Chains A and B, each alone.
Chain A
């Protein structure tokens, strides 16, 4: 299986259209209900974002049009194919990061960070468990010390309320 870069272009264009669509949807519902999407230009909080969103839609249409013309006339550079296998590792690291952010509040900084660091190092291909454990513990606790003691930021304690008595 391979991933075509053209798919990414379509996905990005869809995101742009989604953002623009959301602006119009919110202007027609939430902003109207608040009474701020009506009246003249000076009291219309929807006019500026709607203008930008309209420009964005025009730009997306232009981009897709140019793309279609270039593809049709053979001027478009060849789409690159990336083997899906090459994307597995970055996708797995991203998944670990997403899970980490979701469980940070529940499990607390120390438990979730130790697991996240070790997990990413293993995904990156490290197999020396002593090195992984040393670096993981050193960074997790070292950075926590800097942020908690120097910058006075309290890390999430989680359901176990884990905090270091620095």
Chain B
């Protein structure tokens, strides 16, 4: 499929798309580096801006945030000993000891290089597997589509952290929320309470921003340390990290393969893949390799694995419309808002857009390598920002981003309402990602 549509996809690779992809990597690295935030929060905050862009530029922007955010956590893991995201937790094992031995620049250089190269290898999996999977799925008839819709619901099960029952309840609330608005079969109004703002249902952006961002900020406030300024030494990595990473090429290939494999499996995710890749690398390495004490191979394994997971995660997301994790669920939501239905029909009806998405994914990994290494001093400086400044900024971005969609204060109110719902559900131990998957899957399920 790719050779046929490569030209069409290239045509969509406009300077705007490339520029926003680079911007996405930059923003993703920053939000990934800030402890507590991560790629999901980055994608959510920039979703309102992205959907005003052409489709490939929009998806490039969001995917680039996913790519940059998956790597950014390694900066704080190395410099502060706190992983910016759970994805970088395994990077602590060797990244932090490297920094303590005065090799912080090398550790960050390796983390960024391994992430970029691992991401590209994950991209190959995306390019070769996604069209094949979509090709099989394009021969689906209504019974298979019904099975696919139910498979989509199974994603609720795999992204449910903690209690499965609570995950299913969260997903059921999502399915009900999606029924608000005009019923497509009878054109009657369901659950609108006479409010014309609800005729099209709730805006997905208001749902996602409210559910995730508001409770997260309140949890950050409760945890305290809002006025603390972390002490971080300046660091300037070079492309030496790339050479060090390539010296571990066997480890890089193996860990990227592990990451891609776990990415394709819905629910497995980058955290499991990075820990698995680390365990495998440590087992295979000679006893004197120094794993756990600052081994370069440890950083290569974890970072290449978690970034190659991104490419793998996009395979079922694009080809079947089945999200592998919360971030890809929001990406599917973005595609829906842009007017494209993820799944086999996307590959048949809009192959140029699919090719464009593949190409921006690759470009985002190249941008990660260049921007990541060149701008690391800035990301390290960002680590010194106090939460007391960041939290109101993020809350304001939530309000403005939601308002900007349709210049609607109703959407802002809805965002806040979903924030309150998110606070209650999160406090009760209910996972929030299934709710979003429920909202997205309701489209296919209601038609059964």
Q: Which A residues contact B (CB, under 8 angstroms)?
A: 5, 8-13, 15-16, 19-20, 22-23, 26, 30-31, 34-36, 42-46, 48-49, 52-53, 55-56, 59-60, 62-63, 66, 86-87, 89-90, 93-94, 97-98, 100-101, 104-105, 113, 116-117, 120-121, 124-126, 135, 139-140, 143, 147, 151, 153-156
* B222: contacting residue among A22, A87, A125, CB under 8 A: A87
B312 shortest CB reach to chain A, Å: 31
Most chain A CB within a 10 A radius of its CB, from B189, B388, B428: B428
Q: Which residues does chain A contribute within 8 Å of B226, judged by CB atoms?
A: 124-125
A140 shortest CB reach to chain B, Å: 8
Contact B218 A90 (CB under 8 A): yes
Kindly state the separation between the CA atoms of A93 and B217 in the bound complex, as whole angstroms.
10
Contact A124 B392 (CB under 8 A): yes
Tell me whether B374 is interfacial, beta carbon within 8 Å. no
B430 shortest CB reach to chain A, Å: 6
* B421: contacting residue among A15, A23, A63, A86, CB under 8 A: A15
Contact B404 A151 (CB under 8 A): yes
Contact A31 B387 (CB under 8 A): no
Kindly state the separation between the CA atoms of A80 and B305 in the bound complex, as whole angstroms.
35
Contact A45 B190 (CB under 8 A): yes
Known: A35-B188, A55-B172, A116-B396. 18 other contacts (CB 8 A): A8-B424, A8-B428, A9-B429, A12-B166, A15-B424, A19-B173, A36-B186, A36-B188, A45-B183, A45-B186, A56-B173, A59-B169, A90-B219, A116-B392, A124-B221, A124-B226, A124-B392, A135-B389
Tell me whether B416 is interfacial, beta carbon within 8 Å. yes
Kindly state the separation between the CA atoms of A125 and B399 in the bound complex, as whole angstroms.
22
Contact A90 B222 (CB under 8 A): yes
Q: Which residues does chain A contribute within 8 Å of B340, judged by CB atoms?
A: none
Mark the stretch among B114-122, B319-327, B406-414 that contacts chain A. Answer: B406-414
Known A19-B173, A117-B396, A124-B392: A12·B189 in contact at CB below 8 Å: no
Kindly state the separation between the CA atoms of A126 and B387 in the bound complex, as whole angstroms.
10
Contact A120 B190 (CB under 8 A): no
> 8 Å CB contacts to A: which residues of B110-168?
163, 165-166, 168
Q: How large, as a class, is the contact surface on chain B?
A: 35 or more
Q: Which residues does chain B contribute within 8 Å of A105, judged by CB atoms?
A: 409
Q: Which residues does chain A contribute within 8 Å of B388, judged by CB atoms?
A: 121, 124-126
Q: How many A-B residue pairs have CB under 8 A?
A: 162
Known A43-B186, A90-B222, A117-B392: A153·B407 in contact at CB below 8 Å: yes
Contact A154 B407 (CB under 8 A): yes
Q: Which residues does chain A contribute within 8 Å of B289, judged by CB atoms?
A: none
Return 23 A-B CB contacts under 8 Å, by A number.
A5-B427, A11-B427, A12-B430, A16-B169, A36-B186, A42-B185, A45-B186, A45-B188, A45-B190, A55-B172, A86-B222, A93-B221, A94-B423, A101-B413, A120-B392, A121-B388, A124-B391, A125-B226, A126-B227, A139-B392, A143-B397, A153-B403, A154-B407
Known A49-B190, A59-B169: A124·B176 in contact at CB below 8 Å: no
Tell me whether B175 is interfacial, beta carbon within 8 Å. yes
Contact A45 B185 (CB under 8 A): yes
Most chain A CB within a 10 A radius of its CB, from B396, B404, B407, B409: B396
Contact A52 B396 (CB under 8 A): no
Q: Which residues does chain A contribute within 8 Å of B190, judged by CB atoms?
A: 26, 31, 36, 45-46, 49
Contact A34 B188 (CB under 8 A): yes
Q: Which residues does chain B contribute within 8 Å of A125, judged by CB atoms?
A: 226-227, 388
Which residue of chain A is the closest to B393 with respect to CB atoms? A139
* B404: contacting residue among A30, A43, A48, A147, CB under 8 A: A147
A70 shortest CB reach to chain B, Å: 11
Q: Which residues does chain A contribute within 8 Å of B169, judged by CB atoms?
A: 16, 56, 59-60, 63
Kindly state the separation between the CA atoms of A36 and B173 in the bound complex, as whole angstroms.
22
Tell me whether B100 is interfacial, beta carbon within 8 Å. no
Contact B175 A52 (CB under 8 A): yes
Q: Which residues does chain A contribute within 8 Å of B193, judged by CB atoms?
A: 30
Kindly state the separation between the CA atoms of A15 and B165 in the bound complex, as whole angstroms.
15
Known A9-B429, A59-B165, A147-B400: A104·B409 in contact at CB below 8 Å: yes
Tell me whether B197 is interfacial, beta carbon within 8 Å. no
Contact A11 B424 (CB under 8 A): yes
Contact A23 B172 (CB under 8 A): no
Tell me whether B395 is interfacial, beta carbon within 8 Å. yes
Q: Which residues does chain B contribute within 8 Å of A15, judged by CB atoms?
A: 421, 424-425
B425 shortest CB reach to chain A, Å: 5
